[in-house]
Every structure is written in structure tokens, then in C-alpha cells.
Structure 1
Amino acid sequence: MDVTTIGFTKTTAEDFFGRIKAARVKRVLDVRLHNTSQLAGFAKSDDLAFFLKTICGAGYVHEPLLAPTEEIMTAFKKQKGDWTIFQNNFMGLMADRQVESHLKPEAFDGSCLLCSEDTPHHCHRRLVCDYLNGKWGGKLSVRHL
């Protein structure tokens, strides 16, 4: 199952939608906790759904099951927490939620996981893919756009 990931910060709308279109993404899975912030610009949920459909012919789904909790995000972002602690807390949350039993690998084929971080290195979208690949025996072939 081919899966991509992307972040919307530190990029232009032209570059962002260009990468999604070039990757032939079928649908974007928004894994952000909050997807309606005015600070999100072109990536605000309703606008994003419109742009994805119009520019890329792609669908849009908000999947909060794959988002961190407010507490986990606050500890990492606002309190400048440690990445290792965030990672452990988030992976524990995925296990507690048993996301692998609520979702099917096939649903990820042709999908792109979206969050705000510009790179996947310290981003939960990469952790989602790592977690699910661990549970699904490596069925996801992941590429970060």
C-alpha cells in the first residue's frame, strides 16, 4: 500500500498542491488535532477540501483518531518538551486507542497523511505510519513528500 505524508508549513500553496498532484494522491487524511485554525491558511479544513478536489482531484478526510491529545501536544509544543517523551506518549496513545483495529491498511493506499510540520523527522504523521507498519507487518510503503 503506497502512502505519502506531507506538512503544510514553510511551503507555498503552489508547491504543496503541486507535490500532492505529482504524487497522484487519492485522498488526504488530515491527522491534525485542530484543523480549523485561522493560522492554517490554505490548509484550513473546508478550504483544503475544496482545493484538493479542484486542483488535485483528491478527497479529504479528517481522522482525529490519528491525532495526539491536547495534553501531549501542549507538553511538546508550548512547553518545549522532549521529542523522545512526545514519541513515547504518542505511540502509547496509538496503542491505547488500538487504531490498527479501527482502520484497514487498504484505506491508506493512495492516501497522504497531513499535519503541520514541514518535515517528518519530529512529526506524528511519521509515527502513525511507523506504528501501523509495526502492527500490520510492514504493509505500508511510506514516502514523505
Structure 2
Amino acid sequence: MKLYTIGFTKKDARTFFGLLIKNNVKTVIDIRLNNHSQLAGFTKGKDLEYFLEAIAGIKYHYFIQAAPEESLLKNWQDKKITWSEYETAYKAMLVKRNILDRVDLKILDDGCLLCSEPTPDQCHRRLLAEYFKETIPDLEIRHI
């Protein structure tokens, strides 16, 4: 079972959709807190859902329950907490929200977690993917 992750920042539409197609992604799982901002460009919620289907036959699933709490994200962005503190708080939030009970694990197979960060290093999509791997040991995570 493969689970991909991708960030749209610093990617143009050709690169973004090309990576999804090249990796045979079946469902994009949007885990952004705000998927309708003007900064989202071609990845704005309803537009992205349309583009994914029209360009590549990929399904779209908005999974806001996996987005970080606004205060947690702001504290990290404002450097009020360290990345390590963010990781700990985000993982605790996943447990508190019973994330594993709120997701159909079938969509993870050839699914792709979407967020805005250009790399997974300091992004909640990596943390979420690793959280899923704790429950699904044969899950292979690929950051594209």
C-alpha cells in the first residue's frame, strides 16, 4: 500500500498534476486548514476538485479533521513554539480527534496527502503519514 504526500507551493500546475499522474495517485486527500485562500491558486478547493477529475480522473477528498488547529499552526508560524513542540501537539490532536476512526483507510491506498508546504520536513502531512504508518505497518510513504 502506497501513500503519497505533496505540497503545492513552488510548483506550477504542470508539475503538480504531472507528479500526481506519474505516480498513479487515485485520490488527493486535502488536509489544509484553509483550502479556499487566494494563495491556493490552482489548488483552491472546488477548483482543485474539478481540475483533478478533468485532467487526471483523480478523486478529491477534503479531510479538514486532519488539519492542525488554527492556534497551533499560528504558534508555529509565529515561532512561539519549536517544531518539536508542534509535532508533539499535532500528534496529540490526532489522537484526541480519533483520526483513525474518521478516515476510510481504503482511500490511503494510492492516495496523496495534500498541504501547502513545498517539502515534507516541517509539514503536518509528513506527521499524518507517519501516524498512519504506525497503524498500517506495510504502508509505504512517498513524498513527491
Paired residues, what number?
Answer: 143
String of CA shifts for 1:38-93, please: whole Å, max 9, x gaps. Answer: 1110110111111111111101110011110101111011x124111111110010
Report the equivalent of 1:16.
16
- Larger CA deviation: 21-30 vs 98-107: 98-107
Q: Runs (4+) of structure 1 moved beyond 6 Å?
A: none
Match status 1:121 vs 2:121: yes
Q: Cα offset for 1:2?
A: 1.1
Give the aligned residue type for 1:31.
Answer: I
Report the equivalent of 1:112.
112
Report the TM-score, using the length of structure 1 for normalisation: 0.94
Report the equivalent of 2:143.
144
Whether the aligned pair in 2 keeps the contact of 1:105 and 1:139 (CA below 8 Å) is: no
Q: Cα offset for 1:131?
A: 1.0
User: Unaligned stretches of 5+ in structure 1?
Assistant: none
Give the aligned residue type for 2:54.
Answer: T
User: Unaligned stretches of 5+ in structure 2?
Assistant: none
Q: Cα offset for 1:121?
A: 0.5
What percent identity do the matched residue pairs reach?
Answer: 39
String of CA shifts for 1:85-107, please: whole Å, max 9, x gaps. Answer: 11111001001112112224322
Report the TM-score, using the length of structure 2 for normalisation: 0.95
Query: How far apart, CA to CA, are the structure 2 residues paired with 1:117 and 1:68?
Result: 13
